[in-house]
């Protein structure tokens, strides 16, 4: 077939107006309607940040370093949750002797960082403190008690430490149990009611106009970090043997060969 008789599949200038009216205008109108109705999800951009180098890292294995960074991030997540819970439950921080939400958060951070017993928990620690903080009859600052008890439970599962070195040992089962305890605590927080029949604390909210699941996401991060560390610890000795064999084989077979 010659070029002069070949069918013209590309719209000619004379046909563009009719095609535009028939197809493009309805398509553009639909796009405009969707753009007006849909609100795009926020995109948080950033860069991966490395912690400052410290001389003490020489005494840390890869697993030690992972546990240390995981503990740091879990404590920060819990304190972030405290801020969120105070914002939704301002009556709680007002039960303390502080004059503002920020002051209450600062007081809580010091107690968590130094593992200073929280007075309203009556000397209880670990899961006993968590059970008291989530009890229907608890009268104190439930936000502070819940966050402090959660942090204390997580630190206890790590042998009472927040920084780990070659001489430290971690029990995978205890860390796994800590992840399950966080799951149980979140379930109790969302299902239990106080003596007046109200939720213990207002957290996630799903309504016809709003869907706020930021609490669930933050708790999920904590659970995920604990589960990952637990899995890594269960393979620690197996990986040590495999690494030894790899180094042995590498030293034997992966050497450069002479070229002259």
Extents of the domains making up the chain: 59-244
Q: Which residue has the higher pLDDT, 64 or 14?
A: 64
Q: Helix or strand or coil: residue 199?
A: strand
Beta carbons of 96 and 104 less than 8 angstroms apart: yes
Provide the sign of the torsion angle of the four alpha carbons 84, 85, 90, 92, taken in this order.
negative
Provide the pLDDT confidence category of residue 3 given band limits of 50, 70 and 90. very low
How far apart CA 199 and CA 192 sit, in angstroms, is 6
Q: What's the pLDDT score for residue 241?
A: 62
Better-scored residue on pLDDT, 73 or 40? 73
pLDDT band at 247 (very low <50, low <70, confident <90, very high): low
pLDDT of residue 71: 97
pLDDT digits (tens, 9 = 90+) for 115-170: 999 999 999 999 999 999 999 889 999 999 999 999 999 999 999 999 999 999 99
Nearest to 77 by CA among 201, 185, 222, 230: 222
Question: pLDDT exceeding 90 applies to what percent of the chain?
Answer: 47
Q: For the ranges 8-12, 91-95, 176-180, which has the lowest average pLDDT? A: 8-12
* pLDDT tops 80 at residue 183: yes
Instruction: Assign 219 a pLDDT band (cuts: 50, 70, 90).
Output: very high
pLDDT digits (tens, 9 = 90+) for 61-75: 889 999 999 999 999
Task: Quote the pLDDT of residue 58.
Answer: 82
pTM of the model: 0.73
- Of 7-21, 118-132, 147-161, 232-246, the poorest mean pLDDT is in 7-21
Q: By 3-state DSSP, what share of the chain in percent is helix, strand and coil, each rounded to 5?
A: 60, 0, 35
């Amino acid at each position: 077939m010659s070029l002069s008789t070949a069918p013209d599949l590309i719209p000619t200038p004379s046909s563009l107006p009719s095609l535009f009216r028939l197809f493009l205008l309805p398509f553009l109108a639909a796009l405009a309607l969707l753009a007006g109705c849909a609100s795009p999800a926020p995109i948080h951009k950033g860069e991966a940040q490395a912690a400052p180098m410290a001389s003490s890292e020489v005494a840390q294995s890869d697993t030690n370093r992972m546990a240390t960074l995981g503990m740091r991030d879990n404590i920060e997540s819990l304190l972030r949750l405290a801020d969120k819970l105070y914002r939704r439950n301002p009556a709680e921080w007002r039960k303390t002797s502080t004059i503002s939400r920020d002051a209450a958060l600062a007081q809580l951070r010091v107690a968590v960082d130094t593992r200073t017993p929280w007075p309203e928990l009556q000397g209880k620690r670990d899961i006993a403190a968590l059970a008291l903080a989530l009890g229907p009859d608890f009268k104190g600052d439930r936000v502070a008690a819940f966050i402090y008890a959660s942090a204390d439970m997580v630190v206890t599962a790590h042998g009472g430490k927040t920084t780990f070195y070659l001489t430290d040992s971690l029990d995978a089962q205890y860390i796994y149990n800590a992840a399950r305890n966080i799951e149980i605590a979140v379930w109790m927080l969302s299902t239990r009611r106080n003596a007046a029949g109200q939720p213990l604390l207002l957290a996630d909210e799903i309504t016809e106009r709003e869907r706020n699941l930021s609490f669930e996401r933050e708790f999920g991060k904590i659970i995920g970090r604990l589960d990952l560390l637990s899995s890594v610890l269960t393979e620690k000795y197996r990986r040590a043997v495999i690494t030894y064999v790899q180094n042995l084989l590498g030293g034997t077979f992966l050497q450069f060969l002479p070229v002259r």
